[in-house]
Structure 1
Amino acid sequence: MTDELLVEIVKAEALDAAAVALWRTWSSTNPALSSPYFRWDYTEIAARVCPGAAVAVFRRGGQIVGFFPHQRRGGSVQPLGAPMNDYHGVIAPVGSDITLEDVARLVKGRRLNVPGWIGAGETGEERGTVQVELPAGGYDGWYAERRQAYGKYFKDKERARRSLAAELGETQVRRNVRDPLLLDHLIDLKAAQYRRSGLHDIFACGWTRDLLHALMMDQRPDFGASLAVMTAGDKRVAIEFSLHAGDHYHFWFPAYEPTLARCSPGILLSMDTMRLAGAEGVRVFDFGFEGETYKKYFVNARRTVREAVVMQPGLSAALNDAAAAVLGAAGGRGEAIRASLRRRWSTIEACEASPAGRLRGAAAAARSAVAKLASRKKTPARVAHA
């Protein structure tokens, strides 16, 4: 059948100039693909670094109709750059009917794990991501609109800026910083944060650190990654690593000086980044998945994505059911452990390229889940007072 959807799995470097031109055209003309993660540049750079990197090339009637960049971990398939890739889907023209389920069937993994799928599909659950879309008045227009809606919140941030300046000196922000040592410092701060929180350290595997460095150091005219840095007086108070392409800016990895939390340096840095980048033509600032309280005061737009694990029928699904049954047999504690492991497993699997690494990560997650459960049981219940 000439309209049958077929796939060829290739290395990114095997795509010829005509295929790359299609990719660039579709990612720049399909509004659903506006995120920097859909750019050919992201895939080209990430494919050099990510273990198991490949591209699924979809064809109908001999013609290319879509691309899906991904990585393999044993029998599992994930988006290229997972667990750090916030948006993923098929790079295709507007109106494409290639579904999540089509991709899972054709790439032939035991399972396809996608936390932020853009495009057609019915498997999984909907999640929301949030953005700031600057109005015609640019940053000043956005700020006036937000301050009118949330006066108390933004007056508090104005006081925080004055307090920071009074304590340490006037604040300054530098954008488009590409300093490898500073990026390493930020990564170390994030890694320590993950460990304190009992989460899997996504940077311990090494290649994730290398990916951020590769993205930052490969400067391109309409695509890149860089640091924004805020100082107050002589003290560095906040850093953020972001990905940007065209008029879209994706906030990615933030960190701030915890002793100055009362002055909200991380939030002030995001605001100043929007002001400066907005003056240079950026119009959309993506804050990723909704959840953190501060985002509701900032954002004026929302996207719906799908979080899904698409399982192939047969042995893989049976083994997962068996594992769930074993954990469930442990009773109430086993159920709590299973819920915690399920949330963490996709991150561990994506980070760890070797079976031994995945096993170590799973064991650490199990220990953390047990410790948290034990801690909750030891915590006395609060007594309400009239």
Structure 2
Amino acid sequence: MSGALTVDNRDVAGLTAEERAQWSAWAADDPDLASPYFRVEFAEITARVSPDCAVAVFRRDGDVVGYFPYQKRGGAIQPIGAPMNDYHGVIAPRGEAPTLAEVARLLDGRRFSVNGWVGASTRGIRSESFRTTIPDNGGYDAWYAARRQAFGKYFKDKERARRSMAVEFGSVDVQIGLRDPALLDELIALKREQYRRTGRHDIFACSWTGDLLHALMAHEQADFGASMAVLRAGGQIAAMEYSLHAGRRFHFWFPAYVPSLARCSPGILLSMETIRLGAEQGYRDFDYGFGGEAYKRYFCDTVQPVTEAAFLGPGLPSAIGAATDALLSMAGADRAEEIRNSLRRRWNVIEACEVTGVDRFKGAALAARAAFAKAMNRTAAAS
């Protein structure tokens, strides 16, 4: 590629019809950009809700060669919709996108962090996202037969769990494609309780994150949108999941289940039924996102590499620097790296959610205490 790479930073709402069409065409031509997060509609809806959003328009020799939507938090730059944006990268002609390092250099933030970068990268931590693909020939039945043959014990156990749930609580029913705002509020309440229970930062404590889920679900478009799936046992909600979808891709996003029913695996049962019912509606790729949760190996037959990386200015963010140093000295060298990694990931979430310095400081202090307690508990258990 010839010519110097330059960038124009623009309002997402200011994209022209021609630019929107170009963005959509490039995303449609590249299988790596098939996720709903790469759709121009996702960027536009998010920019109306999340504070301080923009789109980087990259050019060479005056020609547009890529788009990257992002948001600012103070001097930090993150993918648009972070921490809820599972996949991000430059929307460009296949094989011609600027690299992660080039994007970080041109955007020139005090801090630039990504956790699911799709595209060229020479640094960062590489991980994998997980999907399952339903064959056009044979559909769900053929897929499930293959999964059951490969992991018979696991799926037989889930079939027994469903029968036991029906016996104990009443008939098990699943609905997908729901767009009920009250149901979404109920799911958000379950997620907030889960965050409190597990000591994670409550991403819904700031208003814009919940507003984004509502805005995406209210969007009316045949090949892009968001919806909910619900599993009820005896008429009572046992599990829910909020998902994003575009074209043939269905992305599982926010699952929640009633903790007292955990022994019945309601979340797994809902996932299985969502795949069955979604396949009937024409979805073929069901995306579980990145991360190594053990259950994913029973469902997924396709992986895609993604990168987690952070480009930092001098020093740690001031909100956590001194407190972190003190905690690391107390924890000892054997746990220091574990605490650093945990704090970095927690800080990414806090920085993305909270739009004021005061709220970021509060979140950082809580994260530091939680990371230290977790590391100390592990040390005690190992001794």
TM-score by length of 2: 0.93
On the 8 A contact 2:190/2:257 being kept in 1, the answer is: no
Q: Deviations over 1:212-263 (max 9, x none)?
A: 1111111211100000011122111111000000000000011112222222
Change (3 A) 1:372 1:134: same
Alignment map for 1:193-212 (pairs within 5 Å): 193-212=194-213
Give the Å deviation of 1:369.
2.8
* Structure-2 separation of matches of 1:319 and 1:166: 55
Structure 2 matches for 1:1-386, cutoff 5 A? Answer: 3-135=3-135, 136-311=137-312, 316-318=313-315, 323=321, 326-327=325-326, 330-333=329-332, 335=336, 337-375=339-377, 381=383
Q: For residues 62 and 237 of structure 1, what CA distance do their matches in structure 2 show?
A: 55
- Quick one: distance in 2 between partners of 1:125 and 1:339? 11
CA contact (8 A) 1:127 1:306 kept: yes
Amino acid at match of 1:330: S
State the one-letter code of the partner of 2:289: G
Letter in 2 for 1:362: A
Tell me the CA shift for residue 97 of structure 1: 3.9
How many angstroms does 1:276 deviate by?
Answer: 0.8
Q: Deviation digits for residues 12-54 of structure 1, max 9, x if unmatched? A: 0111111001011111111110000000110110000011111
Contact 1:327 1:338 in 2 (8 A): no
Q: Which residue type is aligned with residue 38 of structure 1?
A: F
User: Equivalents in 2 of 1:205, 1:190: separation in Å?
Assistant: 14
Q: Which amino acid aligns with 1:332?
A: A
State the AA in 1 paired with 2:365. Answer: A
State the 1:377 CA deviation: 5.9
CA contact (8 A) 1:23 1:91 kept: yes
What is the SS of the residue equivalent to 1:83? coil
Contact 1:7 1:58 in 2 (8 A): yes
Deviation at 1:176, TM superposition (A): 1.1
Aligned 8 A contact 1:327 1:337 in 2: no
Q: How many residues are paired up?
A: 377
Q: 1:59 to 1:167 in 2, by over 3 A?
A: same
Instruction: Give the Å deviation of 1:112.
Output: 1.2
- Closer, same or farther: CA 377–21 of 1 in aligned 2, 3 Å: closer
Deviation at 1:96, TM superposition (A): 1.0
Instruction: Give the C-alpha shift of residue 370 in structure 1.
Output: 3.5
Secondary structure (helix, strand or coil) at the match of 2:329 reads coil
In 2, the alpha carbon distance for the partners of 1:44 and 1:3 equals 30
User: 3-state SS of the aligned residue for 1:330?
Assistant: helix
Could you say what the CA RMSD is over the residues aligned between the two structures, in angstroms? 2.2
Shift of 1:343: 2.7
Query: Given that residues 27 and 34 in structure 1 are in contact (C-alpha distance below 8 angstroms), is that contact kept between their aligned partners in structure 2?
Result: yes
State the TM-score, normalized to the length of structure 1.
0.92
Gaps of 5+ in 1: 382-386
With over 3 angstroms needed to count, the CA separation of the structure-2 counterparts of 1:369 and 1:58, relative to structure 1, is same
CA distance in 2, matches of 1:60, 1:118: 21
Per the TM alignment, residue 167 of structure 1 is displaced from its structure 2 partner at its CA by: 1.8
Tell me the distance in 2 between the aligned counterparts of 1:114 and 1:327. 27
Task: Read off the aligned partner of 2:80 and give its amino acid letter.
Answer: L
Paired amino acid for 2:347: W
Unaligned runs of 5+ in 2: none
- % identical equivalent positions: 55
Q: Deviations over 1:41-68 (max 9, x none)?
A: 1011000001111100111122211100
Q: Distance in 1 between matches of 2:316 and 2:298?
A: 45
